[in-house]
Structure formats: structure tokens, C-alpha cells
Amino acid sequence: MKIALFIPCLVNQMMPDVAIATLNLLEKLGHQVIFPQGQTCCGQPMTNSGCFDEAKKTTLKLLNAFKGVECDAIVCPAASCLVAAKENFHEFDSSKEAEEVINKLYELTEFLHDIAPIDRFARPINKKISLQMSCHGIRMLNLATPTEEMGKQRFNKVEAVLGKIAGLDIVYPARIDECCGFGGTFAVDEGAVSAKMGKDKAQAHAATGAQYAVGFDPSCLLHLDGMIRRQKLPIETRHIAQIINDAL
């Protein structure tokens, strides 16, 4: 497939390794990958603060970077940014071209589970990982059944994708899908509560004895990483793209 990478500003500026791993793994899987120029922030910091006017310019700039780009899918290694991009594109542009972009947007896990599943991994990874089930991916992108929901057949796309990697021992922290407390500007506006949530989450991951806390949402991983190092916990963060890329 021909894939356009959507690399949100946080990943572009602060976690390029995640973007590189995403690019590499998609190429190893035989996809043709392009990186359209002119990408910027999805507007989430502003819209999450209620400031829609302030978000409009950057959102439309991001949307324009993908309009008319020839590709089968637009893939993003950040669930929260992807959700915000979808919502904000809808909010500010109701054109057919915008709709075409929106319909091609996929979060990486979603893409590797629903659209182009990986047949087999080349290399085993003999590691124990604790999965970070971030809120927006779970509750807004349906990457897994949230723990609040009952009855239905339960699913977990993250585990389904990573579970095929030989040697990988997947575990979960206590209170599996409780928020890590990042929440964008919440991390600063509500510093004390955010930090306590982050500390509890980091400790829960470390308590599993896993080497890595692995997630699909870079912003949560950034928060956990800052907390893990402050608390000096014996665990590190990794993005799923990095694990998958290593196994291919």
C-alpha cells in the first residue's frame, strides 16, 4: 500500500525515534511510505482548552498538508493526536477533500490490526513488557474494550498485534486503563494531581517487573518517562513502533 505518514508535532520535535521506527517498520512490511511536507500540530492543546478560534489556523495547515496527497492510508503513531485531528478537521472543514483525508486516517495499531495485518515477525523479542493502555486510544478509537464496558466480546488490538511476536511476555499494570494524568495542559494546570496520577501509573508499570512500559501514545509515554526517571524506577518506556520494528 502507499502510506502517507502523519507525524504529530510532539513526535516530530521530541521523539523522532518513534517516527523513524514507524517509517522503517512500514517499509519492512513492503509498503511505500511518503512523508508529506508542511505538517504541524493537530490543534489539540487549543481545542482541549476550549480555544477553537486559536486552533483553526494550525488545524487547517495540517489538513492542507494531506489534501490531494495520493495515498491509500494516512498512518499516525499517536492515538490522541489522531483523534483530535479527526475531530478538528471535521470542525473546521466540511469539504469533500477534507472528508477524503479523514477517511484515510489510521492510528498505527489500528492500521496494523484492521487494514494490513502482519503475517509473521522475523525476530523474537525476549522481553517482558507492561502495556500502557492510553485513554483516547481505548475509549475513542476502540483499540481495546475499556474495563468499564461489560458483556460484549472483549478485544484488545494492541495485544493482538504484539502477541504474535515470539518471546514477548505481555503484562498489564494494576488498574489497567486508568489515566496516566498527562492530559495536555492538565499536566501543568493541575500539576499536583497530574503528577500523582503519573507516579501511581509509573509505579504500577514498574511493579509488574517488566523491562519496558510500552504504549501507542507518545504523549503518555513522555509523561511516564519523566516520572519514571524522577522516581528512579527500574523500567523504561518504548513505543509499539519501536518494538514492532525490532521484531521485523
Partner 1 sequence: MTELYSASGSKVHSHKADIFCRDETRVDWHSKALWLLREKRDRAAASIPEWEQLRQLGSELKLHTLTHLTDYLQQFEQQCLANGIVVHWAKDGQEHNQIVLNILATHQVKRLVKSKSMLTEECHMNPFLEQHGIEVVDTDLGERIIQLANMPPSHIVVPAIHMKKQEVGELFHQQLGTKAGESDPLYLTRAARAHLREKFLTADAAMTGVNMAIADQGAVVVCTNEGNADMGANLPKLQLHSMGIDKVVPNMDAAGVLLRTLARNATGQPITTYSSFYRGPQQGGEMHVIIVDNGRTEMMKDKILAESLKCIRCGGCLNTCPVYRRSGGYSYNYTIPGPIGIAVGAKEDSTHSIPWACTLCGSCTYVCPTKVPLDKIIAHHRRLKAENKTLPYGKSGYMPLVGRFMASDTMMNTSMSAARLALRVLPGSLLKPFSGAWGKYRELPVAPESSFATWYAKNRSR
For partner 1, the binding residues in 78-97 under the rule CB under 8 A are none
234 binds partner 1 (CB under 8 A): no
**Residue of the chain from 48, 67, 128, 233 that contacts partner 1 (CB under 8 A):** 48
| Among the residue ranges 55-63, 94-102, 157-165, 240-248, the one whose residues contact partner 1 (CB under 8 A) | 55-63
Instruction: Provide CB contacts within 8 A for 14, sequence distance 6+.
Output: 222
| Interface segment toward partner 1; rule CB under 8 A; list 100-108, 117-125, 156-164, 218-226 | 218-226
Q: How do beta strands 73-76 and 2-5 pair?
A: parallel
Query: Between β-strands 236-239 and 169-171, what pairing exists: parallel, antiparallel or unpaired?
Result: unpaired
| Nearer Cβ to partner 1 (156/168) | 156
CB 12 within 8 A of CB 40: no
Angle at 170 between CA 180 and CA 150, to 5 degrees: 65
Q: How far is the CB of 88 from partner 1 (least distance, A)?
A: 12
Specify whether the CB–CB gap between 164 and 120 falls below 8 A.
Answer: yes
In whole angstroms, what is the distance from residue 4 CA to residue 85 CA? 15
Pick the closest to residue 172 from 213, 137, 142, 141 (CA basis).
213
Q: Does 203 bind partner 1 (CB under 8 A)?
A: no
Q: How many residues does the chain have?
A: 248
Choosing from 1, 45, 72, 125, the residue that interacts with partner 1 (CB under 8 A) is: 45
Contact 185, 167 (CB under 8 A): no
Q: How far apart are CA 76 and CA 109, in angstroms?
A: 9
Shortest distance in whole angstroms from residue 204 CB to partner 1: 12
Neighbours of 75 (CB within 10 A): 28
- Near partner 1 by CB under 8 A, which window of 98-106, 114-122, 158-166, 177-185? 177-185
Window 13-32: residues binding partner 1 (CB under 8 A): 13-17, 19-20, 23
Which of 30, 70, 153, 192 touches partner 1 (CB under 8 A)?
Answer: 192
Q: Decide: is 123 part of the binding site for partner 1 (CB under 8 A).
A: no
Q: Which of 30, 50, 94, 234 binds partner 1 (CB under 8 A)?
A: 50
x-marked contacts with partner 1 along 127-166 as a string, rule CB under 8 A: --------xx--xx-----xxxxxxx--------------
The CB-of-161 to partner 1 minimum distance in angstroms stands at 22
Q: Which is nearer to partner 1, 205 or 223 (CB)?
A: 223
**151: how many CB neighbours lie within 10 A of its CB?**
6
Judged by beta carbon, residue 164 or residue 211, the one nearer partner 1 is 211
Sequence-distant (≥ 6) Cβ neighbours of residue 176 within 8 angstroms = 133, 147
